[in-house]
Structure 1
Amino acid sequence: MAASFAEPQQALSVSQQLRLMFYTLTPKESSFRTVEEVPDYVDKATPLFITLILLEIVVKWIQKGSSARFNDSIACLSAGVLSRLPDVLSRSVELTTYIYVWENYRLCELPWDSPWTWYMTFLGVDFGYYWFHRMAHEINLLWVGHQVHHSSEDYNLFTALRQSVLQKYTSWIFYLPMALFIPPSVYAVHLQFNLLYQFWIHTEVIKNLGPLEFLLNTPSHHRVHHGRNRYCIDKNYGGTLIIWDRMFGTFAPENDKVVYGLTHPINSFELFKIQFHHSIYIWKTWWNTPGFCNKLSVMFKGPGWGPGKPRLGLLEDIPEITGKEVPFSPKLPNYLCVYAVTHFILMLGFYIDLFATKSTLSQVTILMRIGYIILTLTSIGFLMEQRPEAPILEIAHCSAFLTLHKLGCVKSYVALLSITYEVLFSLCIAFWGIQIMKHLVSSVAKH
Structure 2
Amino acid sequence: MYELLSFLPVNNVCNKGREATAFFVGMILLEVLLGWLETGDLLIKINDGTTSLSAGMMSRLPQLFVRSVEVSSYVYVWNNFHILELPWDSAWTWWLAFLGVDFGYYWVHRCSHELNILWAAHQVHHSSEYYNLTTALRQSVTQQFASWVFYLPMALIVPPSIFAVHIQFNLLYQFWIHTEVVKDLGPLEWILNTPSHHRVHHGRNRYCIDKNYGGTLIIWDRMFGTFVPEDDKVIYGLTHPINTFDILSVEFEYYVYLWQQFISADGITHKLSVIFNGPGWMPGKPRLGDTNDLPEVTGKEVPHNPEWSTLLQTYVHVQFLLVLVVYNNLFETEHMLSQTTVLLITGYILLTLTTLGYIMDQSSNSAVWEMSRCLLMLALHRFGYISSTVPLLVLATEVFASLSAVYWALKCFSKLVVKEKHY
Calculate the TM-score normalised by the size of structure 2: 0.97
Cα distance in 1 between the residues matched to 2:287 and 2:316: 43
Residue 238 of structure 1 corresponds to 214
Q: Which has the higher helix share?
A: 2
Paired letter, 1:368: L
Residue 163 of structure 2 corresponds to 187
Q: Is residue 2:316 matched to residue 1:327? A: no
> Within 5 A, what are the aligned runs for 1:229-268?
229-268=205-244
On the 8 A contact 2:204/2:238 being kept in 1, the answer is yes
Paired letter, 1:332: W
Displacement of 1:416 in angstroms is 2.3
Q: Is residue 2:94 matched to residue 1:132? A: no
Q: Is residue 2:101 matched to residue 1:109? A: no
Displacement of 1:65 in angstroms is 6.0
Residue 294 of structure 2 corresponds to 318
Paired letter, 1:47: A
Cα distance in 1 between the residues matched to 2:410 and 2:125: 37
Cα distance in 1 between the residues matched to 2:345 and 2:422: 42
Displacement of 1:142 in angstroms is 0.3
Compared with structure 1, are the counterparts of its residues 37 and 70 closer, same or farther at alpha carbon in structure 2 (3 Å cutoff)?
closer
| Structure 2: gaps spanning 5 or more residues | none
On the 8 A contact 1:33/1:113 being kept in 2, the answer is no
Cα distance in 2 between the residues matched to 1:117 and 1:37: 21
On the 8 A contact 1:78/1:271 being kept in 2, the answer is yes
Paired letter, 1:131: W
> Within 5 A, what are the aligned runs for 1:278-357?
278-357=254-333
Residue 141 of structure 1 corresponds to 117
- Deviations 1:317-344 (Å, cap 9, x if unpaired)? 1111111211111111111111101110
Q: Is residue 2:35 matched to residue 1:60? A: yes
SS at match of 1:211: helix
| Structure 1: gaps spanning 5 or more residues | 1-25
Paired letter, 2:33: V
Cα distance in 2 between the residues matched to 1:48 and 1:244: 28
Q: Is residue 2:359 matched to residue 1:383? A: yes
On the 8 A contact 1:34/1:184 being kept in 2, the answer is no
Residue 205 of structure 1 corresponds to 181
Deviates more, 1:113-122 or 1:207-216: 113-122
Cα distance in 2 between the residues matched to 1:141 and 1:445: 48
Displacement of 1:39 in angstroms is 6.0
- Deviations 1:165-208 (Å, cap 9, x if unpaired)? 00000010100000111000000100100000000000001110
Paired letter, 1:75: T
Displacement of 1:439 in angstroms is 1.8
Deviates more, 1:211-220 or 1:81-90: 81-90
Cα distance in 1 between the residues matched to 2:394 and 2:30: 33
Deviates more, 1:404-413 or 1:29-38: 29-38
On the 8 A contact 1:31/1:113 being kept in 2, the answer is no
Cα distance in 1 between the residues matched to 2:40 and 2:3: 41
Displacement of 1:34 in angstroms is 3.7
Residue 18 of structure 2 corresponds to 43
Displacement of 1:137 in angstroms is 0.1
On the 8 A contact 1:220/1:254 being kept in 2, the answer is yes
Cα distance in 1 between the residues matched to 2:259 and 2:14: 40
Deviates more, 1:86-95 or 1:29-38: 29-38
Displacement of 1:441 in angstroms is 1.9
Paired letter, 2:99: L
Displacement of 1:304 in angstroms is 0.5
- Deviations 1:16-44 (Å, cap 9, x if unpaired)? xxxxxxxxxx6445433642552623211
Paired letter, 2:214: G
Displacement of 1:315 in angstroms is 1.0
- Deviations 1:54-105 (Å, cap 9, x if unpaired)? 1111111111165212210010011011111111122211111110111011
Cα distance in 1 between the residues matched to 2:395 and 2:412: 26
- Deviations 1:228-273 (Å, cap 9, x if unpaired)? 0000000000000000000000000000000000000000000100
SS at match of 2:7: coil
Cα distance in 2 between the residues matched to 1:211 and 1:254: 15
On the 8 A contact 1:33/1:112 being kept in 2, the answer is no
Displacement of 1:361 in angstroms is 0.3
Q: Is residue 2:264 matched to residue 1:277? A: no
Q: Is residue 2:68 matched to residue 1:96? A: no
SS at match of 1:40: helix
Identity %: 55
Q: Is residue 2:397 matched to residue 1:421? A: yes
> Within 5 A, what are the aligned runs for 1:391-410?
391-410=367-386
Number of aligned residue pairs: 422
> Within 5 A, what are the aligned runs for 1:218-237?
218-237=194-213
Displacement of 1:359 in angstroms is 0.6
SS at match of 1:75: helix
- Displaced runs of 4+ in structure 1, greater than 3 A? 26-31
Residue 410 of structure 2 corresponds to 434
SS at match of 1:200: coil
On the 8 A contact 2:125/2:136 being kept in 1, the answer is yes
Cα distance in 1 between the residues matched to 2:331 and 2:82: 32
Cα distance in 1 between the residues matched to 2:11 and 2:36: 43
Displacement of 1:114 in angstroms is 2.1
Cα distance in 2 between the residues matched to 1:237 and 1:39: 23
- Deviations 1:414-443 (Å, cap 9, x if unpaired)? 222222222211111111111111222223
Paired letter, 2:233: K
Compared with structure 1, are the counterparts of its residues 64 and 380 closer, same or farther at alpha carbon in structure 2 (3 Å cutoff)?
same
- Deviations 1:350-381 (Å, cap 9, x if unpaired)? 10000100110000000000000000000000
